[in-house]
Amino acid sequence: MTDLETPVAPARPGPWPRRVAPALLGYAAVRALGLVALALWSAARDKSPHQLLTARWDSLWYTRVAELGYGYEVRLPNGDVHSNLAFFPLLPWLERAVSAVTPLSYADAGLLISTLASLAAAWGIFAVADHVHGRRAGVCAVLLWAVLPVGIVQSMAYSESLFTALAAWSLYAVLTGRWLTAGLLASFAGLTRPVGAAVVAAVWVAAITSYVRERSVPAPDGAPLWRRVLGMLLAPLGAAGYVLWVGQHTGKGPLGYLDVQAGWGNGFDGGYAFARFVADKFTSFPSALAGIGLIVGVALVIWLYVVCVRQGQPLPLLVYAGIVTALALCASSYFGSKPRLLLPAFPLLLPPALALARLRTPTSAWALGCVAVVSAAYGAFWLNGSGPP
C-alpha cells in the first residue's frame, strides 16, 4: 500500500468544540488569507472586492430571485432563454429572510450566509473525516478543502458552501444512524442545488444496505425500520418539490426543469461536450498546455475516487462523491465552472488528508501553508478575470 492507501485509525471522539477548534481556526485563517489576497489584487486593478464577492455571475441571479421572485429571464440573440428558474430557492429564501430582519441588502445577506455556511461545511467535513479516519485526518481534510484552487468560491454569495454544509452533515447523520436528521438535511440540500440528488441517493443506499445488513446480523442498537423509511421519504422532498413546481409553473410537466436547464445550454451528455472542449485546446501550442492541464486534472479526480474505493470508504460517501463527480464532469456546458462544481465532492479529499495526517505536524503545516498562499493568489487572479468561476 502507498501512503494514500493506508488508513489511519480513528481517534476516540472528545468534546466537540475543543476537538474541532483547530480545523475551524485553520479554515478561517486560510479564508482570511484568500480575502486579503483578493483585496490587494483588486486594489491593484481598481476593482471592488466586495462587488466581486457579491455581485457577479450566479450571485446576481440569486439576489434577483430574493428581490423579485421567479419569472425573470434573459433572451439571447441565438434564441436561448436564461431563466432564473434554473436556480434552486433555498439560498434566495435565506437571503430574503436575513435581509428582512437586518439592515443588510440581499447581496450582503448572501455573503453572510455563505460565510456562516462555509464554517458549518468545514465542521461537517471534519465530522465525517473524524468519524471515518480520526481527528488528524479530519483537520487535514478541512484544510485541504480550504486551500483548493477555487476555494475563493466558499467566500462568495454562491450556494456551494450552503450545499456542502447540508450535504456533509446529512452524510454524518447517515454514518451515525440518525436517519430522520439525514433525510431532513438531504431535503434541504435538494432545495439548494440540482446535485442534491447525490445526497438523496446516499441516504437511500445507506438506509437500504444497513437494513439488509442488520437483517443478516441483528444489531442490538439498530434503528427501527420506520426511522429509515421516514428518512428515505423526507430526503427527496426538497428537490422533487421544486422540480415539480417548475414543471407546473412553466406548463411543461414534470420534466419542465430540464427545459429550463436546456435554455442555459446545460444537460448531461456523458462528458462528450467536455471531451470536445478539451480536444479543441490542442489546435495551438499555448492552448495545448491548458488541454494537458485539464486532462491531468480529470485524471487526478478519477484517481482520487479510485483510491477512495480501494481504501474502503463508507458506501454513502462513495455514492455521494461519485454522483457529484459524474454530474460535474459530464455536464454539457460551462466548462470553466467545473472546478467549482466539484467543490462539494469533499470525500475525494480524504486520501490526501490521510497522507498528510501521517506526516509530522510541522511538515504537513508547511505543505498546507505553501499551498494556501498559492491558492489565495490564484483565487484573487481568477475572480478578477472575465471568465465564470
Query: Alpha-carbon distance 233 to 252, whole Å?
Result: 25
pLDDT at 10 over 70: no
Q: Residue 159 above 90 pLDDT?
A: yes
- For the chain, the domain total comes to 1
Average pLDDT over residues 9-25: 73
Asked whether residue 4 carries a pLDDT value surpassing 70, the answer given is no
**DSSP letters for 12-36:** PP--HHHHHHHHHHHHHHHHHHHHH
Mean pLDDT along residues 258-279: 84
The predicted model scores a pTM of: 0.93
Residue-number span of the structural domain to which 335 is assigned: 21-383
Is residue 13 in a domain?
no
Which single residue is written with the C-alpha cell 480536444?
279
pLDDT at 79 over 90: no
Q: How confident is the model at residue 268 (pLDDT cuts 50, 70, 90)?
A: confident
Judged against a pLDDT cut of 90, whether residue 73 lies above it is answered with: no
Gyration radius (Cα) of the chain, Å: 21
Res. 13: pLDDT tops 80: no
Predicted local distance difference test score (pLDDT) of residue 265: 81
pLDDT score at 191: 97
Q: Is residue 8 part of a domain?
A: no
**Does residue 11 lie within any of the structural domains?**
no
265 located within any domain:
yes
**388 within a domain of the structure (yes/no):** no
Q: Is residue 12 part of a domain?
A: no
Top pLDDT among 283 and 373 is at: 373
Per-chain mean pLDDT for the chain: 90
**Is the pLDDT assigned to residue 389 strictly greater than 80?**
no
Q: Say which range, 211-220, 241-250, 373-382, has the weakest mean pLDDT.
A: 211-220
pLDDT at 218: 58
* Predicted pLDDT at 338: 87
The answer to whether residue 315 is domain-embedded is yes
Among the listed residues 47, 76, 75, 71, the one whose alpha carbon sits nearest the alpha carbon of residue 61? 71
pLDDT band at 11 (very low <50, low <70, confident <90, very high): very low
Q: Average pLDDT of 179-208? A: 96
> Which residue carries 455521494 as its cell?
320
> Among residues of the chain, what percentage have pLDDT more than 70?
93
Q: Is the model's pLDDT at 168 over the cut of 70?
A: yes
Q: Does residue 205 carry a pLDDT above 60?
A: yes
**Contact yes or no for 67/124 (Cβ under 8 A):** no
Per-residue model confidence as pLDDT tens digits over 178-191: 999 999 999 999 99
Q: Most confidently modeled of 46-60, 114-128, 372-386?
A: 114-128
Per-residue confidence at 2, pLDDT binned at 50, 70, 90?
Answer: very low
Q: Is residue 165 part of a domain?
A: yes
Is pLDDT above 80 for 263? yes
- Kindly report, residue by residue over 310-360, the tens digit of the pLDDT: 999 999 999 999 999 999 998 887 777 888 999 999 999 999 999 999 999
Mean pLDDT over 364-374 rounds to 94
pLDDT in tens, 52-70: 999 888 999 999 999 999 9
Q: Where are the alpha helices (DSSP H) in the chain?
A: 16-44, 49-54, 58-68, 90-101, 106-133, 135-146, 160-175, 179-190, 196-216, 225-234, 237-250, 256-263, 272-280, 285-310, 315-330, 338-341, 350-357, 361-383
pLDDT attached to residue 212: 85
Between 301 and 251, where is the model more confident?
301
Q: What is the pLDDT of residues 85-114, one digit of tens each?
A: 999 999 999 999 999 999 999 999 999 999
Half-sphere exposure of 292 (CA within 13 A, CB side): 6
